[in-house]
């Protein structure tokens, strides 16, 4: 298990074979390792965990492809969850409206007749947002999660998961990952900010030809937990046929604890099996997010402009 919270503490994942890329298999001097490769993408608030096992070439390709698709899909969560990516929280915008963030609270700006995707119930002190995601490709989002998981796989086990590496690197994996599924669990309440938790579970013994994953990777970012299956070349011949029967790991209270419970009836813990097998572009996908607050208030144009000037 690894977690990151303090900005001044950095962890570098290093294999015993130095200067060899886990993904393309090339070594120095064929490839370089000059750039700092985030083991968990910086878009999720990770400023602490890095990988020394990813060459500059693979880092660039992943950033332009699968991690870009992950960013498009996860943007509503990252913005409304107020996750700092690099130097700011990502903004959201639509036709005639936009949401910007500062250190204290978000500001929603809109034109008079704009169709703003936010509904505020002042009596219940809730806000419901329906955000349209940027266009994304589902199977590339899954590969981005799988790539994060493979960063944390113990070096001694890599040879048993080569087809998983090939899947991430867009090489022919022989249909090994014919179905791209993972768990997403949402936990309501106030969560520790600026923190990323990663947990790797590897089974002690796997039986040949079984369809249960030999490893599970868990990534916790603010209110969301992602559980990604990792299949082994040596044992998981059957694939993902019974994945929906597998339950997500129990809520890990010691490592991922809400600061306060949500109000009754507003939000509940929600677990979903996400099927991201499609290779087609998804446009117009809508994500609904509920907020609870002590109250909401309108601000003057001058107050909003002053606040926004401080975050630009």
Coil, helix or strand at residue 200 = strand
Query: What angle, 0 to 180 degrees and rounded to 10, lies between the N-to-C axes of helices 138-151 and 66-80?
Result: 90
**How far from each other are the two terminal CA atoms of the chain, in whole angstroms?**
36
Mean pLDDT calculated for residue range 22-48: 93
CA-wise closest residue to 82 among 94, 72, 91: 91
| Top-confidence residue, 17 or 41 | 41
User: Quick check: 283 pLDDT over 90?
Assistant: yes
Residue-wise pLDDT tens digits, 226-279: 999 888 877 665 445 456 566 777 655 444 444 444 444 455 778 888 999 899
For residues 154 and 71, what is the distance between their CA atoms, to the nearest angstrom?
26
The top-scoring range by mean pLDDT among 11-20, 191-200, 254-263, 268-277 is 11-20
Question: Which pLDDT value is given to residue 261?
Answer: 46
Q: Over range 20-40, report the average pLDDT.
A: 94
Residues 90-98, mean pLDDT to the nearest whole number:
77
Instruction: Give the pLDDT score at 60.
Output: 96
Kindly state the average pLDDT of the residues 30-35: 94
E strands present in 62-179: 92-94, 97-101, 106-110, 118-121, 126-132
Of 32 and 10, the structure prediction assigns the larger pLDDT to 32
198 contacts: CB under 8 Å, gap ≥ 6: 1, 2, 3, 39, 40, 49, 148, 152, 217, 218, 219, 220
Is the per-residue pLDDT at 135 higher than 80? yes
Distance, CA of 152 to CA of 54 (rounded, Å): 12
| Chain segment 137-187, per-residue pLDDT in tens | 999 999 999 999 999 999 998 988 888 898 898 766 556 676 788 999 887
In the predicted model, what is the mean pLDDT of residues 282-292? 86
Please write the tens of the pLDDT for every residue from 39-92. 999 999 898 899 999 999 999 999 999 999 999 999 988 887 778 877 778 887
- Give phi and psi for 284, each to the nearest 5: 75, 15
Give the Å distances, CA to CA, from 213 to 53, 170, 185, 201. Answer: 24, 21, 19, 10
């Amino acid at each position: 298990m690894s977690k990151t919270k303090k900005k001044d503490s950095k962890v570098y994942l290093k294999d015993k074979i130095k200067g060899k890329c886990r993904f393309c298999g090339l070594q120095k001097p064929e490839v370089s390792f000059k750039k700092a490769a985030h083991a968990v993408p910086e878009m999720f608030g990770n400023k602490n965990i890095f990988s020394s096992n990813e060459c500059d070439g693979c880092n660039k390709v992943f950033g332009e492809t699968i991690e870009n698709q992950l960013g498009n899909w996860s943007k509503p969560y990252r913005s409304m969850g107020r996750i700092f990516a690099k130097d700011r929280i990502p903004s959201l915008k639509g036709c005639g409206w936009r949401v910007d963030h500062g250190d204290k609270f978000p500001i929603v700006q809109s034109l008079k007749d704009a169709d703003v995707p936010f509904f505020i119930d002042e009596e219940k002190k809730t806000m419901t947002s329906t955000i349209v995601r940027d266009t994304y490709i589902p199977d590339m989002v899954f590969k981005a999660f799988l790539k994060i998981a493979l960063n944390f796989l113990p070096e001694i086990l890599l040879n048993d998961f080569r087809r998983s590496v090939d899947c991430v690197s867009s090489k022919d994996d022989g249909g090994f990952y014919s179905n791209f599924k993972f768990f997403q669990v949402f936990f309501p309440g106030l969560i520790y900010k600026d923190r990323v938790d990663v947990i790797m579970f590897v089974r002690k013994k796997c039986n040949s030809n079984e369809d249960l994953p030999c490893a599970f990777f868990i990534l916790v970012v603010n209110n969301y937990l992602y559980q990604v299956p990792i299949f082994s070349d040596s044992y998981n011949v059957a694939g993902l046929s019974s994945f929906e029967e597998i339950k997500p790991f129990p809520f890990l209270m010691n490592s991922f604890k809400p600061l306060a419970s949500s109000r009754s009836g507003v939000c509940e813990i929600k677990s979903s099996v996400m099927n991201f097998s499609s290779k087609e572009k998804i446009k117009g996908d809508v994500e609904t997010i509920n907020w609870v607050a002590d109250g909401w208030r309108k601000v003057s144009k001058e107050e909003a402009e002053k606040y926004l000037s401080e975050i630009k």
